[in-house]
Structure 1
């Protein structure tokens, strides 16, 4: 069946969202831009927050953002529906003293961020993107556009490369960005120029690489969508679209929480293991006049849907998947289950998820790992542990996870957004 016009429009909007979000800091800024365009009010953490039922607010902390809609009838014990995701993706991250080179080539000194499929970064035009902190403490976003490339060694010089490619993470992952001698060049100057600032003013930076190719719909009946950083910008985008198109809030406070640093464990001030969500929830409660008991009652009435990508069955590696539970692209979003609670889903969460899917008219699939292939984890168990809130792990199935360019189903992307909207209101 051909992709619906709504699903195609959603995929093309996601492509624009990904292009605008080459780093977690850009993703948070793009979330903020879309929220402000939809009438949300930005709050500063150092200012008092208003007690305003019916308000639409958001706050940004580094590469993370939290937004919420307070229904007009909200009280101190009104529950919260939190749709959670993360803004970061595996990448190469710029080191200190980043301008290097060899034999007339200019190179960038990088280290590995998260767990990328390193071979997928070869022979792609890459941007450097992230934030610069200046001598007066000001923070500016920078994105160079296509600047770097990690060129692969020709097969004539490595006849056994197709028998297995192993890259030395120190020696063979340093991209080229120009010709000349390192002593006479400065890659920070390229970043400064892209941000319109003087390179001499840079005192700190958080800069990563990103693939510059635009997202693309393709395949029979426009079934597929490929782009960089779908893990987890697909979920961030779904949450933003669902929240900004929310016509009338339900009986709960609708909240979107997108965190940084999930790919490296979440243990930062802007990660899910940090205090950001707990801080915001407490301040929202205080603005509604809640005492400590009422705050705990509100948490008991709340849900978190932790949305992150999961594995579709791969037609060339079927043995890596569970022999029975085999989600596939285009057949709906997934409910993620793990006996060892690497995902937070339990029976109550499964029942709630299916109810939200039913309300949205969406068919869901289940995901569980092959017993011999341990699964990863998400922000779900972290959020459940930190807050004691009921949590369910969900997402969409993809292929090429942690590649520089990942593959999703057009129908699944749109379906996840519809379920997110149902979750906010049902």
Structure 2
């Protein structure tokens, strides 16, 4: 159903299903505050549903056959899950692709220092943020520290009720006359997004006493020394659980809806697949917020290599069949869209804008001025998707990211489109996008999940 409110169609039983599905999503969002944590959770859920590690399949020299379920991991930050279809892979796959990284603060490689009786951690922001939104809110530390001997220490500090939390300070209103004259992008400078981590000096030290005390705590509690930050990946994210939002509990407020809301719904869809005509895939990637570069971004050849491995596990080494597989593939680039905010309606063009509660959002093109950097999906493909969703009574809408020349954004769609596959963005409308706390409609989360299931079964 196009451009209709999904809440109005639900029976009492369906409404219960919507709410129950979102409980699972809130749990995933609370646990998955980093890309590593998301992939770890996705792997655990996949193994519970009978998915085997492709490395084990290769090591055991097993032949893959229709109905087999496998997953491939890449550096703890990508996962590609497959259900092998009845048709040969060269006839194409049906892919759901989403990213699991979100805007945040990252610790620099030499982060710890002392100033004016405080120990602080120096950060560099990741992705597009409004820097002023990240001050004076409770923050937590998530990540890994890898020691020279290869020992990996996983850190989560600030999520348990008994944990300390951290924060970035801001200038008090009484002394901020000059600060408030700055433009919004300058009122908080990037180099001032440093996290306060302690204030007690270590007795007996001559200098940097507070820093010395923090190093003592790190060594005693986590076996971390200062030099170990060189080989660490520690992210600073908002502390706290994903929560119901609104007196009617119609929404979810949480950190990282962009794009974990699409990652979870895509994952949930493929976990229910038992058999399929075309090989089904859920592809969760990293680095989208900074251009999809690097070994774990969508521009990596990880997916290409994995398809080659699948073919090899079917007794076929043909390179041309890999190319045919991509050319015959259909994909939903499962990424979020900007939901209309009642306080800022003027940035949207209402006929072509996404509204919370009206179902999954199709973006024919994203990009910016003059459609620059976009994947302009083919109308033949869009028509097929319209038919699938109408047949399944699923609510959907179409949108652009704001008015023409207002702004713009990117996804992984154009990257996957470079493989000559049919691809379109299809995701959930988000309010407060890229803020520490974002908001989505529970109805849209559920409709996205239903969309992804229908696509895998019928595209």
Shift of 1:220: 4.5
C-alpha distance in structure 2 between counterparts of 1:200 and 1:66, whole Å: 35
- Structure 2 residue aligned with 1:321, among 348, 352, 374? 348
Between 1-10 and 402-411, report the one with greater CA deviation: 1-10
Is it true that 1:381 corresponds to 2:414 in the alignment?
yes
Residues 49-97 of structure 1, C-alpha deviation per residue, up to 9 Å, x if partnerless?
63211211112212111111113x3435342111001111111100022
Q: Aligned residues, how many?
A: 421
TM-score (ref. length: structure 1): 0.91
- The answer as to whether partners of 1:344 and 1:384 remain within 8 angstroms in 2 is no
The gaps in structure 2 that reach 5 residues or longer are 1-6, 159-163, 201-208, 366-370
- Structure 2 residue aligned with 1:7, among 1, 9, 18? 18
- The answer as to whether partners of 2:119 and 2:211 remain within 8 angstroms in 1 is no
Shift of 1:200: 7.5
- Structure 2 residue aligned with 1:363, among 372, 387, 395? 395
Specify the alignment match of 1:268 in structure 2.
Answer: 294
Shift of 1:112: 1.1
Is it true that 1:39 corresponds to 2:74 in the alignment?
no
What's the secondary structure of 1:239's corresponding residue?
helix
Specify the alignment match of 1:394 in structure 2.
Answer: 426
Specify the alignment match of 1:125 in structure 2.
Answer: 138
C-alpha distance in structure 2 between counterparts of 1:188 and 1:279, whole Å: 45
- Structure 1 residue aligned with 2:196, among 162, 168, 176? 176
- The answer as to whether partners of 1:25 and 1:131 remain within 8 angstroms in 2 is no
Between 152-161 and 310-319, report the one with greater CA deviation: 152-161
**Quick one: structure 1 residues 242 and 30, their matched pair in 2 at CA, closer, same or farther if it must change by over 3 Å?**
same
- The answer as to whether partners of 1:25 and 1:141 remain within 8 angstroms in 2 is no
Residues 266-296 of structure 1, C-alpha deviation per residue, up to 9 Å, x if partnerless?
1111100111111111211222234233333
TM-score (ref. length: structure 2): 0.85
- Structure 1 residue aligned with 2:175, among 154, 157, 162? 157
Between 110-119 and 163-172, report the one with greater CA deviation: 163-172
- The answer as to whether partners of 2:52 and 2:70 remain within 8 angstroms in 1 is yes
C-alpha distance in structure 1 between counterparts of 2:433 and 2:155, whole Å: 26
**Quick one: structure 1 residues 43 and 231, their matched pair in 2 at CA, closer, same or farther if it must change by over 3 Å?**
same
C-alpha distance in structure 1 between counterparts of 2:236 and 2:423, whole Å: 32
Is it true that 1:218 corresponds to 2:230 in the alignment?
no
Shift of 1:161: 6.5
- Structure 2 residue aligned with 1:141, among 146, 154, 159? 154
C-alpha distance in structure 1 between counterparts of 2:69 and 2:100, whole Å: 21
Shift of 1:42: 1.8
- The answer as to whether partners of 1:84 and 1:307 remain within 8 angstroms in 2 is yes
Bigger Cα Rg:
2
Specify the alignment match of 2:277 in structure 1.
Answer: 251
- The answer as to whether partners of 1:78 and 1:253 remain within 8 angstroms in 2 is no
